[in-house]
Amino acid sequence: FSDVPDKEFQNVMTYLTSIPSLQDAGIGFILVIDRRQDKWTSVKASILRIAASFPANLRLVLVLRPTGLLQRTLSDLALKFNRDDFNMKVPVIMLSSVPELHGYIDKSQLTEDLGGTLDYCHTRWLCHRTAIEGFALMVKQTAQMLQSFGTELAETELPNDVPSTTSVLCAHTEKKDKAKEDMKLALDEGRSLLENIREPLGKCGEQSLNQDQLDNQTTVQRLLDQLTETEAAFDEFWAKHEQKLRQCLQLRQFEQDFREVKASLDALAQKIATFTDVGNSRAHAEHLLKDLASFE
């Protein structure tokens, strides 16, 4: 505990107190410091550090003091005569045994090493929190990517010819497909994580999730909902953008066809304009009509 640098200790405390909901955090925290196998100096160091660094609403500090007779005596005397040194604005209660702790905190909220019934595995908790932080970062990066892509689409000027419009449509569609694939991967990651958190429920129908697992489940579900809403908004935006590009392509195709037809008609009109002779005989007139019919 004493080997952890102050900055890292502060970061850990800030992170741990940020995990509960704002409503739960507003109620306040109760700290249990287990120093049964330590010396009084470690108890003092722990309390001093918490007094200086705890970043949230702290209601109570419960200390399981050292079990040795000498250390217990030292802790009693030190706490009695040096309480002001701790600069604690909340009660600090020294406990001599685990049963005393149960008078302050229900067993269902304590782990087995403290005589409680709370199903808690620190390795599992670390795995879940690491995965949740990774998923949260993935959701954030996906949202940023979609925002950047959406800005690029919105700022794209409509091309003035068929090849350029076709090229832009193909390029944007390719980027859209890549973005959708990234979103699918993120959603799959979140759903897999959610199933992993809910795994205890599948093993035993009567088993329920503890508060940490419920909080993790809520966090992942919130991130999944956020990602789903982001995807829906992007799909709506893309549908409008694609429609605009396809309408632009139709317009450019029509303009190209119009120019080609007009050029053909202009050339034909010039040739027809050369037919000024009306013929000086019936045979000559019929010959001129045949020549004119060839332009139909």
pLDDT digits (tens, 9 = 90+) for 271-283: 777 766 666 777 8
CA distance linking residue 42 with residue 75, whole number of Å: 10
- Please choose, from the candidates 179, 146, 168, 150, the residue with its C-alpha nearest in 3D space to the C-alpha of residue 246: 168
The domain limits of the chain are: 6-114, 122-266
| pLDDT tens digit sequence for 52-103 | 778 888 888 898 887 754 444 555 555 554 555 445 577 888 888 899 999 9
**Quick one: which of 145, 141, 134, 120 has its CA closest to 220?**
134
To 10 degrees, what angle do helices 162-197 and 211-273 make? 170
Which CATH number, 2.40.30.10, 3.30.2130.30, 1.10.357.10, 1.20.58.60, labels domain 122-266?
1.20.58.60
pLDDT of residue 221: 95
Dihedral sign from CA coordinates of 141, 142, 147, 149: positive
Give the pLDDT confidence score for residue 69 in this predicted structure. 46
Helix, strand or coil for residue 116?
A: coil
Q: What is the pLDDT of residue 134?
A: 94
pTM assigned to the model: 0.74
For 43-47, 57-61, 100-104, 203-207, which range has the lowest pLDDT when averaged over its residues?
203-207
